[in-house]
Amino acid sequence: DTWVASTANGPGGSSRSAFSVALTDDKMSSCHGPFPDDSVITYKRVFLNLGDSYDMQTGRFTAPRSGVYSLAVTMYGAVTAGKMATCTQLQVNNREVTTLLERNGQDTQDSASVVVALRLKAGDQVAVKLLKGCSVCDSNNHYNTFTGFLLYATDAQSPDRCVPSRVAFTVTLFKDVIFMCFGPFSQDSVIIYQNVVLNLGGGYSTDTGVFTVPRSGVYSIALTVFSDAGSPNRPLAVCATLKVNGEPMFRASEQNRQDQEDSATIAVALHLTAGDQVAVYLPSGCFLCEFSSHFNTFSAFLSLWPDLHGCCQHESVKQKE
């Protein structure tokens, strides 16, 4: 069979948009922040800037074309003394999409990651902001990264016959809450993410928390879980299990008494069949929390599929089933 990849959508260079950048290339480790106000992080080490849409001077990625994009952020911070506060926020047009937070008095270093799929319009600006009072640290080890690429174009240049191949969703745990937790429970429970950021193809259900695969292919799946114990030295149990058709596949876990807050991330690629059901479960005794921002996310998108409709992707992969 011929398989096509979603890394480009149609002939011509305008379809090819991808970037991957890191904070710095300095040999010596140094920190950026803390500052009294939120500030855009300007990543100076450019690994890839296909389409020249990432601006190294401003730290902003400007979407060259309307479509669905995959975006990923990893942050890292370290201190030699005192409390550590590492916190960043992924924003589109200065509005929050999701927040990464590692703020405690026990760890001398920590990191967090998130992967989401978002629908962007041509001209939308995407950036990572360092929140006030926080810092990120790096060297040529490249701990802090920001990556994005076009999955599916949705403008007039994209052929209608490619529409069935567009499957992507991003959801977050709660919507418009000041502080709320999910769990702990006495038995494993499906996490029902209530806030839908994107649901292209309609595969995710806010009633059940289950993503039902609408089309066979290879899917990229990512989730980030976060919790807050409420105060130092209280038990923290951040954990989740990714299941396919009820079978546990992957697990993320952070359980300790040292951290008041912590997070964990899973990012995988799976070959799924139409009708398969994918869900995130909260193991018994664990709990997830959010306050004012979106810390807990669940995302997936179709990245490879059999070329049944002759879609105009510029890359193809030959694979025998």
Identify the bridge partners of residue 294 per DSSP, sorted by sequence position. none
Tell me, rounded to whole angstroms, the distance of Cα 292 from its chain centroid. 18
Per-residue pLDDT of 12-64, as tens digits, reads: 334 679 999 999 999 999 999 999 999 999 999 999 999 999 999 999 999 99
DSSP string, 9-42: -SSSGGG--EEEEES---SS-EEE---SS-EE--
Q: Over the stretch 264-279, which tens digit does the pLDDT of each residue have?
A: 999 999 999 999 999 9
- pLDDT tens for 189-227 read 999 999 999 999 999 999 999 999 999 999 999 999 999
pTM confidence score: 0.89
**Residue scoring higher pLDDT (6 or 23):** 23
- Sign (positive/negative) of CA torsion 267, 273, 274, 280? negative
Q: What residue ranges define each of the domains in the chain, with the CATH number in brackets? A: 2-315 (2.60.120.40)
- Per-residue pLDDT tens digits for 168-190: 999 999 998 899 999 999 999 99
Helix (H), strand (E) at residue 226: strand 217-228
Instruction: Please give the Cα distance from 138 to 47 (Å, whole number).
Output: 16
Per the CB < 8 A criterion, the answer to whether 74 and 113 are in contact is yes
pLDDT tens digits, 57-101: 999 999 999 999 999 999 999 886 667 789 999 999 999 999 999
User: Is 261 a residue whose pLDDT tops 80?
Assistant: yes
CA-closest candidate to residue 110, choices 308, 258, 271 = 258
What is the arithmetic mean of pLDDT over 157-165? Answer: 60
Residue 140, both tokens: 């040529």
Say how many C-beta atoms besides its own lie within 10 A of residue 32's C-beta: 18
Cβ–Cβ < 8 Å for 4, 313: yes
Q: Which residues pair with 150 in a beta bridge?
A: 69
Find the radius of gyration of the CA atoms of the chain. 20
pLDDT digits (tens, 9 = 90+) for 299-314: 999 998 775 554 544 3
Tell me the β-bridge partners of 108: none
What are the DSSP calls for 64-90, one per residue?
Answer: SSSEEEEEEEEEEEE-SSS-EEEEEEE
Which of these ranges, 69-83, 109-123, 134-148, 265-279, has the smallest mean pLDDT? 69-83
Q: Checking phi first, is residue 145 left (phi over 0); if not, alpha (psi -120 to 50) or beta?
A: beta
